[in-house]
Structure 1
Amino acid sequence: MSGYAWRITAEGKAEQVPVAGALTCGAPFVWVHLTTNADHAQTWLRDEAQLPAYVVDALTAGETRPRCEKMGDSAFVNLRGRTDEEVGSSDVLASIRIWAAKGRVVSVTRKHLVAMGDVVAEMKAGELRDPGDLIAAFATAITEDLDPVVADLGDWLDDCEQGLRTDRVFELRRGVTKVRSEAITYRRFLNPQRTALERLAALPGDWLADDDRAHLAAAADRAARMAEEVEAIRERAALMHEALTDLRAEQLDQRSLVIAIVAMVFLPLTFITGLYGMNVKGLPYADEPWAFDAVMGMCAAVAAGVTIYFLRRHWFRG
């Protein structure tokens, strides 16, 4: 098991302390963070932190979704944020599980969160003085980290719409499919995350100050805006995919039309050459020296006539 612990002293200074014994050090505020597997975390949470079994199960659950639950005088919060470690294609966000009570916070992650560095920096600077400050910092850092990622998805679709050409159909279709998949995945977690933050901001308890509730509400609003944006991106990606499909179908129709016209031009020529290619007696002018030139001239005249007909009918324009 690995992790670290921070405490805020009575003088308001932040100090990093060993995980062992951190919750019983008597400091006004202590934060213990564990980066571990479920078995080791359960042992520490049960034996040293002495948390109830239902809290231990929530902190070490394998499958999680963003949520918030009141547990007596404490609260459990599950949030999702970006990670720089390898993740599955259907689960691109890593979870952080937080148990908070007055003066104490225990958090557990299995994968490193990108937003963790900002939160630790604020803690080191002594800016986080209670559980409400810490959870609000997590919510703000996670949403600020996700915001430019969601914006990049929209910008990529803008570039696709401006560069929509027949010679880029396959390239754009692969990119649009990827953007749509990512938007669906982000939407899957952003909506419940917004609900969790809103519920946390409304929880009763003196360990959440008014400014903490305001920060949580702002993070919930930002999560709601991102959820709406990824929904718009998903719909735009679907429309873009349909447009690319139509463009590809139009491209195939144009090529099929060209093939059909070429076949129509050569069809009468094939008939003439096939007729004069028969090895039978009685073909007109078969023994004349100018017969070959006459047949070639007739073929050229027929081909020109068919081509002129198609040009006047504007078939070459589709």
Structure 2
Amino acid sequence: MVTPDPSRSSLKQGLPPGTLVHIGERRDEPVTISVITYDEQHYDERCAVAPESLPDLPDGRYTTWINVNGLHETGLVKAVGDRAGLHPLTEEDIVNTRQRPKLEEYDDYLYIVTRMLRYEEGAVRSEQVSLILGPSFVISFQERAGDVFDPIRERLRLGKGRIRKEGADYLTYTLLDAVVDGYFLVLEEFGDAIEGIEEEVLASADAETLQAIYAAKRELIELRRSVWPLREVVGALERGESPLIQKAMRVYLRDVYDHTFQVAETVETYRDTVAGVLDLYLSEQSRRMSEVMKVLTVIATIFIPLTFIAGVYGMNFRHMPELDHPWAYPAALVGMATVAIAMLIWFWRKRWI
């Protein structure tokens, strides 16, 4: 019996719109919810919160940040979404981790999909992050625990900067900025990996090197799929006229847009670099093959006159006077050796070897 793959979108076939089906990697770890409420004078943080214990949304007194780690328990995700008044189609998209980065505007909230990247064990790991921006709250949905938001939590705890003085739109900006800053860290690691592959190509390229090159190309495709749509999302947030985003926030969003543009340019540069490394690998393999063929050709060329001499004196004719000479055999060997040495000297002067 074949077990259905939970990551396949075909599991939703025939189901009505708004049906929550988790599409993505199944994880054994439990879904956890954390809640942070704050303003300039107040800060409260709770972990392992049950859906029924969530604060009323929106709560105009404080800014609320609800973070959900894990999407495989669709019932819990729906409970959080219903608490915030999310549309069923939004809840459906949240549990589908194959979403393209996008921005959807509803009457009382904005739905933002982005991808968080990390470089782990020599490979780029991608994770979908969904952000809900409401009048005084932000809800973030992640596939698993662990993210790039710890510096933001620390700033909230210590009251550093202006984050505690601003509202939910500023918190959304900081979350997006943290995601994009994580791209730079990934690109730094990726750049070092490309340099290592390039050095390996020049030193001793083999089949594993070729696999590493193609793996880098696949990861760059994943990076490009994450970065280019995010540019459109941030650009739409900056140019949009949603009442949930103050005009003063647009300059910060413009800064995030500039960062996404830099990341996109770096990704394109790395794509050209990897293509160049692949060409270098193929050229190096061709050069090495040419070196081998040159050596084999030299050896074959040297043996052509030797084979001729051996063939002449290997004929079974009776009247060959050299065959009866006592020094015929040593003379033939010396002659063949002389021819071989003379040809080697000639090849060396021609710089063929």
Work out the number of aligned pairs and report it: 312
Counterpart for residue 61 of structure 1: 96
Range that drifts further, 268-277 or 306-315: 306-315
Shift of 1:290: 1.0
Range that drifts further, 204-213 or 193-202: 204-213
- Hey, what's the Cα distance between the residues in 1 that align with 2:336 and 2:288? 31
Shift of 1:164: 7.4
**1:235-274 alignment to 2 at 5 Å?**
235-274=272-311
Change in Cα spacing, 1:203 to 1:166, as seen in structure 2 (3 Å) is: closer
**1:1-318 alignment to 2 at 5 Å?**
1-8=31-38, 12-17=41-46, 18-19=49-50, 20-24=52-56, 26=59, 27-36=61-70, 37-83=72-118, 92-126=125-159, 127-128=163-164, 129-158=166-195, 163=199, 166-170=202-206, 173-316=210-353
> Contact between 2:137 and 2:168, CA under 8 Å: does it hold in 1?
yes
- Hey, what's the Cα distance between the residues in 1 that align with 2:117 and 2:263? 14
- Name the TM-score, length of structure 1 as normaliser: 0.86
- Matched residue of 2:244: which SS? coil
- Hey, what's the Cα distance between the residues in 2 that align with 1:312 and 1:148? 54
Shift of 1:312: 4.3
Change in Cα spacing, 1:140 to 1:294, as seen in structure 2 (3 Å) is: same
- Hey, what's the Cα distance between the residues in 1 that align with 2:215 and 2:108? 44
Range that drifts further, 20-29 or 251-260: 20-29
Shift of 1:275: 3.2
Change in Cα spacing, 1:189 to 1:46, as seen in structure 2 (3 Å) is: closer
Q: In structure 1, give the amino acid aligned to 2:32.
A: S
- Hey, what's the Cα distance between the residues in 1 that align with 2:101 and 2:243? 23
- Matched residue of 2:205: which SS? helix
Change in Cα spacing, 1:167 to 1:61, as seen in structure 2 (3 Å) is: closer
Change in Cα spacing, 1:167 to 1:281, as seen in structure 2 (3 Å) is: farther
Alignment RMSD (CA, Å): 2.8
- Matched residue of 1:315: which SS? coil
- Hey, what's the Cα distance between the residues in 1 that align with 2:268 and 2:335? 64
Percent pairwise identity: 21
> Contact between 2:64 and 2:136, CA under 8 Å: does it hold in 1?
yes
Q: In structure 2, give the amino acid aligned to 1:109.
A: Q
Shift of 1:145: 1.8
- Hey, what's the Cα distance between the residues in 2 that align with 1:243 and 1:46? 52
Range that drifts further, 248-257 or 165-174: 165-174
Structure number having the greater helix percentage: 1
Q: In structure 2, give the amino acid aligned to 1:24.
A: D
> Contact between 1:84 and 1:114, CA under 8 Å: does it hold in 2?
no
Shift of 1:146: 1.6
> Contact between 1:186 and 1:230, CA under 8 Å: does it hold in 2?
yes
> Contact between 1:59 and 1:99, CA under 8 Å: does it hold in 2?
no
- Matched residue of 2:100: which SS? coil
1:125-146 CA deviation, whole Å, 9 max, x = no partner?
A: 3434421122111111112222
Structure 2, gaps ≥5 residues long: 1-30
Range that drifts further, 306-315 or 293-302: 306-315
Range that drifts further, 27-36 or 189-198: 27-36
Change in Cα spacing, 1:38 to 1:215, as seen in structure 2 (3 Å) is: farther
> Contact between 2:56 and 2:83, CA under 8 Å: does it hold in 1?
no
Change in Cα spacing, 1:63 to 1:164, as seen in structure 2 (3 Å) is: closer
- Name the TM-score, length of structure 2 as normaliser: 0.78
Range that drifts further, 71-80 or 212-221: 212-221
1:77-109 CA deviation, whole Å, 9 max, x = no partner?
A: 01111247899x8x8311110111101222211
- Hey, what's the Cα distance between the residues in 1 that align with 2:242 and 2:322? 110
1:104-133 CA deviation, whole Å, 9 max, x = no partner?
A: 222211123531222322333343442112
> Contact between 2:201 and 2:280, CA under 8 Å: does it hold in 1?
no
Structure 1, gaps ≥5 residues long: none
